[in-house]
Structure 1
Amino acid sequence: VRPPPLQQRLVTVFTLSGLSGIANYKITIFIFTLLCYCVIWLVNVTIIVTVIVDKSLHEPMYIFLCNLCFNGLYGTAAFYPKFLYDLLSTTHVISYAGCLLQGLMVHSSICTDFSLLALMAYDRYVAICRPLVYHSLMTTQRVCIFVFFAWVTPFSLILMSTITTATSRLCGSHIPRIYCINWLISNLACSASVATIIIPAFNYTFYFGHAVFVFWSYVHLIKTCQSSKENWNKFMQTCVPHLFSLAVVVVSFLFDMLYMRFGSKEIPQSFENFMAMEILFIPPIINPLMYGFKLTQIRNRRNVIYIVNQ
């Protein structure tokens, strides 16, 4: 009996080919990756616990920072455990449902990063440019609403994209990467649908609007801070870490997205893997470190905890 055409087969497992050709370095990469994942947990949990324990840090900026660190743990949880398992395994496969879930978590985490960084930019804009109305605008109830939508909106948008991808009929099961993303799954579809084009385009436009808003807010921040030494000191202390974190996320995302779409097949597999990992490696480590060392209140609180433990 002749097997049915590929487009009529039910795809239940995807093959990940990103780890091909590194058999001699698996143990070294495993140790390095495990160490990095432990560092990610250490630095992010330190910031989260510090903000939760110290009531003086229960302010909008630190609440947003706490959520940013938690989001770093959420996004990396979708990648590192599976990647570490693959490094010790001889077969690099992932179930259909697991692939969709991994893509959903990675994408929603990146989008949530943009939402939280936009909220932090708004918080700094109100605090420095409109200090007299800061406490009336950034109330506890309003901050909770902001945080709620910063999580729910990205998840809902990416969930729509994931559902659209899941309803597509696939003509392949090979993903040339070390983890799943919706765009590569969509490329396996037998035919492109309007929804798989419109929904991602809307998501890109929506978060490009976040970037425009952040740019606009910082133009006003810089103009305001130049006229006052006190405001400029406040800008350097609280806004520079935010700008650096934003730059890290944007650059990491753009590098990954541009390489994924326009990268050359002649590039070594190790470099491809690094490009795939850097969005899940650099921001989750750099963000808490930048804020932990730069923000005086967090740095002082961390030092107090360290002294008490000694």
Structure 2
Amino acid sequence: MLTENESIIRFFKELGLEVTSIDLGIASEQERSSTIQISRDSYPGVEPHLVTIADIARWFPELTSSGDIRLKQPQPDVSNCESLDIYRQYWEQLLSVTDIIMGFLKEYRTRFSRGEYPTTSWAHYFMNWTHETWDSRRLEPAPIDSWICYVDPSIRPHIRELNEFGLITRESCSGHPDDHPAREPFWPYVMFEERAYPGISAHLFTLADMACWIPTYGRHGFDVSLEIPRDVELTRGNIESYWNQLISSTRQLMPLLEDYISTSGVDFYTNMSNPSLFRMPANFQCKDMSTTGDFSR
């Protein structure tokens, strides 16, 4: 008969996530927070997915000095008679959210069997780019109707909906020839404002992977840009399909993040009480996968 630890480890393994350590947090006289640590080698690009899972489930994400991802349950502030139920509720929430998000990412993970790997490692570049936005205030978005007329006509409904979900866009190009009759359009892309809310970059990388777009950081050192894979033939049908898939994935992901976004304050990065992913250890070494393959070719 499997123990609770073994059952949880098997659950994560079936989803392609390798558990390197687990602590239910309730097996001693002195209660402590539950933790589970997952290997960064589970699959390429796993880190932002686990951060997104933690944010939805309301666990704290951390990165270990070896680059593995540790999820830590908030310490419950309850009496002893209630604590066991609270611990179980946190675990059930984490397992439920993990199952949902990993389901959204099935297509992303099948691409590895074809020898395709991401160009940009979120965890590597998250610490190596300059992130002045960490200590800035949340950006107040301009009214959508004040600027939507400047967006390519074919994607105005898409850009509007992205912004209505709280994903502030900075710039975009549909890639559709009908929107650019006098010149060849840019490759289809959309760049998002990183000051929309704290922790957004992990969610945007997860969104891109769900929608089969290619995520990367902006050339200026922050913000996140998503583009259609470079091996896609830019027919009208393909362009429309990719933009529609991005919106479909947004409709799946963003409602799950509503509670997180509504409670993440302006000082989220600087005032976190636990050592978090957003202040990684000084001796952190993260594998740069930029030479191992490329989803965009």
Please indicate, yes or no, whether the TM-score normalized by the shorter chain is above 0.5.
Answer: no
More strand by share: 2
Structure whose CA Rg is larger? 1
TM-score by length of 1: 0.33
TM-score by length of 2: 0.34
Instruction: Work out which structure has the larger RCO, using CA pairs closer than 8 Å and 6 or more positions apart in sequence.
Output: 1
